[in-house]
Amino acid sequence: MSNLGEFELIARLSPFLASAGDDLVVGHGDDAAVIDLDGRGVCLAVDVLVDEVHFRRDLSSMADVGWKAVAVNVSDMAAMGARPTVAVVGLCRPPSLDAAAVEQLYEGMSEACREWGLRLVGGDTVAAQALAVSVTVLGDVQPDAAVRRSGARPGDRIVVVGELGGASAALAQLRAGVDADERLLQAHRRPVARVDAGAALAAAGATAMIDVSDGFGADLLHVCEASGVAAVVDAERLPAAAGVHEAARALDVDPMVFVAGGGDDYALVATVAADGVPAAEAAGAVEVGEVIQGSPAATLRLPDGSTRDLAGMGWDHYRQEGP
């Protein structure tokens, strides 16, 4: 397993998974699947958070972990232009996790559910060695309005809603042994899903959309691969989270390592036709680049005119250590 990356592994699973067709509007390979149930679109996603891989219990409270377990799935709903409705929880509970801690976990999940208007409707609890929380979220979307990763076309503009680099900069500060900037650490603890913006971008005619979980560059590359296009992005237009540039300077690293390569940002990246940019901006988006013809590639353009390949700047849990 050690030399097999997450994406290579998922690719090997594709023979076992259903692709779009008939009532399956969006199959595997997107942020969430979409099923057409007699004209009503049901959007479905699951994400698992594992202790010491996705969070550290000395950095995140149990309520933070609960919030995040819901938020990352809600973010996948947002990336389809869907609105979350209900969630179920799978809890792997180690003996050390007492009932009060489990209640705090559920307090955090409830807070996130209130924030984005969904309800927890059940789950499963098993005794396990390590703490892991799996949340499955269902959402509503018009079947023909779901925004896939695959619709970007040359000439489209690339827009971003949300801030980039916060979570990864905080973790880099901690690894370097310096106190993490609380604002950045909060991005790691309490990510924000952009449901209203996702719906607004869908309404603005977004041709493709993804949420940033692996890193801006890696996730933009997913859109390029699914759409069969290339992307060029201006480094200085990328919306860095407040504190990222200062953190990068203090650590003596290129801020783009966090902004473009970071991960765990849960910003939305969408492509829209040029005439859709004003509506996207009204939804809180900033324009950062454009889609061009070419084999799938994502390129960062620096202020001096030089360019950098964004491939390989993302987070892959099989290859990198967790928090």
Q: Which stretch binds Mg ion (CB under 5 A): 208-216, 241-249, 275-283, 301-309?
A: 208-216
Neighbour count for residue 4 (Cβ, 10 Å): 11
Residue 127 bridge partners (DSSP): 93
Binding of ligand ADP by 28 (CB under 6 A)? yes
- Region near ligand ADP per CB under 6 A, out of 28-36, 100-108, 192-200, 286-294: 28-36
User: Which residue has the closest beta carbon to ligand ADP?
Assistant: 213
Distance of closest approach, residue 257 Cβ to ligand ADP, in angstroms: 20
Strands (E), 192-236: 208-211, 230-234
Rounded to whole angstroms, the Cα distance separating 188 from 170 reads 7
Q: Which is nearer to ligand ADP, 31 or 181 (CB)?
A: 31
Q: Which one among 30, 47, 64, 76 touches Mg ion, defined by CB under 5 A?
A: 76
* 1 near ligand ADP, rule: CB under 6 A: no
Q: Which of residues 204-233 bind ligand ADP (CB under 6 A)?
A: 213
Token pair, residue 85, equals: 């409705």
- The span from the first CA to the last CA of the chain, in angstroms, equals 20
Taking each continuous run of H as one helix and of E as one strand, the counts in the chain are 10, 13
Burial class for 118, CB neighbours closer than 10 Å (0-12, 13-18, 19+): buried
Q: Is 64 in the site for Mg ion (CB under 5 A)?
A: no
Q: Checking phi first, is residue 177 left (phi over 0); if not, alpha (psi -120 to 50) or beta?
A: left
- Which CB atom, from 97 or from 201, has the smaller least distance to ligand ADP? 201
Report which residue type is found at 164: L
The site string for ligand ADP over 155-194 (x = CB under 6 A, - otherwise) reads ----------------------------------------
Question: Residue 32 CB, nearest distance to ligand ADP (Å)?
Answer: 7
The pattern of x and - marking residues 156 through 195 that bind Mg ion according to CB under 5 A reads ----------------------------------------
4 binds, among Mg ion, ligand ADP, none (CB under 5 to 8 A by kind): none
Q: Which does 134 bind (CB under 5 to 8 A by kind): ligand ADP, Mg ion, none?
A: none
166 burial type by CB count under 10 A (0-12 exposed, 13-18 middle, 19+ buried): buried
Q: Does 30 bind ligand ADP (CB under 6 A)?
A: yes
Under DSSP, is residue 213 helix (H, G, I), strand (E, B) or coil?
A: coil
Secondary structure (3-state) at 188: helix
Which 39-78 positions form the footprint of ligand ADP (CB under 6 A)?
47, 76
**Rounded Cα–Cα distance for residues 317 and 138 (Å):** 25
Query: 217 with 296: CB under 8 angstroms?
Result: no
Q: Which does 47 bind (CB under 5 to 8 A by kind): ligand ADP, Mg ion, none?
A: ligand ADP
Q: Which positions touch ligand ADP (CB under 6 A)? A: 10, 13, 17, 28-31, 47, 76, 213
